[in-house]
Amino acid sequence: MKIDIVTLFPDFFASPLATSMMARAIAQGLLTVETHDPRDCATDKHRTVDDAPYGGGGGMVLKPEPVYQLWQERGLAASRCIYLTADGQPLNQALAVELALEERLVLLCGHYKGVDERIRTELIDREISIGDYVLTGGEPAALVLIDAVARLIPNVLGNFSSALDDSFQEAVLDCPWYTRPVEFRGQRVPDALLSGDHERIEHWRRRQALRRTFARRPDLLQQIELDEEEQQLIATWREQGLEEAP
């Protein structure tokens, strides 16, 4: 997969892309990432890429001319072009899987107050948000999207099916984890984990994960496949008005 990042701050990506999974994926030729600075296509001596919006208002907006020129010079228009913005489609695991099937992605990182509307309507295929909050720029959001997508590229994690299997449900159903020693500061590892009975351990972890998710993010349980016993368990917790995970 090839990912092109259009950003005013190319150096922002240097360290993350040289670390851990993404560094290995790039080294193995499974992922190629290239940054493009719109300033390279500015026509004035100050390399200006922003301008005040018509009608006034605080902040500056990314101008269309340098971005259009960049799209033409670098051949970006033929790719799936994504604009990272707070009002875009929420990034979830299903969308990450869909994007992982693309051969090439272009990520436009907005800055200032955003981008000229003509950029959005003429160059962008999809607008994506990583959450209901505002960032200074689209660079952190681009990194999140790249990480979510790159791990799904075959052979990046060694097993594509495994990457799909441990996707959303495992990430959401996060149970308490314990390591050695058995006792620390008066707290012991639960007996179920010390039993050596793998079925009992998995049952304990699943129940604890459901309980924690119910207490912290009950809305996410609607996206989890639950058996009849688990549905009844959650109904009981709801009737009891439980709020804190054990």
Q: Which is it for strands 2-6 and 104-109: parallel, antiparallel or unpaired?
A: parallel
Confidence at residue 109, expressed as pLDDT on a 0 to 100 scale: 96
The answer to whether 153 and 29 have CB atoms below 8 angstroms apart is no
pLDDT digits (tens, 9 = 90+) for 200-214: 999 999 999 899 889
Cβ 107 vs Cβ 145: under 8 Å: yes
- Residue-wise pLDDT tens digits, 28-87: 999 999 999 999 999 888 999 988 887 777 788 899 999 999 999 999 999 999 999 988
Per the confidence metrics, is the pTM higher than 0.85?
Answer: no
pLDDT score for 24? 94
CB 104 within 8 A of CB 52: no
Phi and psi of 88, rounded to 5°?
-85, -175
Q: How many Å apart are CA 196 and CA 124, to the nearest integer?
A: 54
For the chain, the straight-line distance linking the first and the last C-alpha, in angstroms and rounded, comes to 44
Question: Given pLDDT bands bounded at 50, 70 and 90, which one contains residue 244?
Answer: very low
pLDDT tens per residue, range 144-197:
999 999 999 999 986 555 555 555 666 667 788 888 899 989 999 999 999 999
CA distance 89 to 128: 5
In which band, very low, low, confident or very high, does the pLDDT at 95 lie, cut at 50, 70 and 90? very high
Report the length, in residues, of the chain: 246
Q: What is the pLDDT of residue 171?
A: 61
Q: Highest mean pLDDT: which of 84-88, 110-114, 221-225?
A: 84-88
What confidence tens digit (pLDDT) does each residue in 130-144 have?
A: 999 889 899 999 999
Range with lowest mean pLDDT among 96-105, 117-126, 163-172: 163-172
Is the predicted pLDDT of residue 246 greater than 50, yes or no?
no
Encoded amino acid at 64, one letter: P
Contact assessment for residue 102 and residue 80, using Cβ atoms and an 8 Å cutoff: yes
Radius of gyration of the chain (CA): 23
DSSP one-letter code for 184 = E
| Domains of the chain by start residue, with CATH | 2-158 (3.40.1280.10), 171-240 (1.10.1270.20)
Task: Grade residue 112 by pLDDT with cuts at 50, 70 and 90.
Answer: confident
The arithmetic mean of pLDDT across residues 123-136, rounded, is 93
Q: What is the pLDDT of residue 245?
A: 41
Count Cα neighbours of 35 within 13 Å in the Cβ-side half-sphere: 15
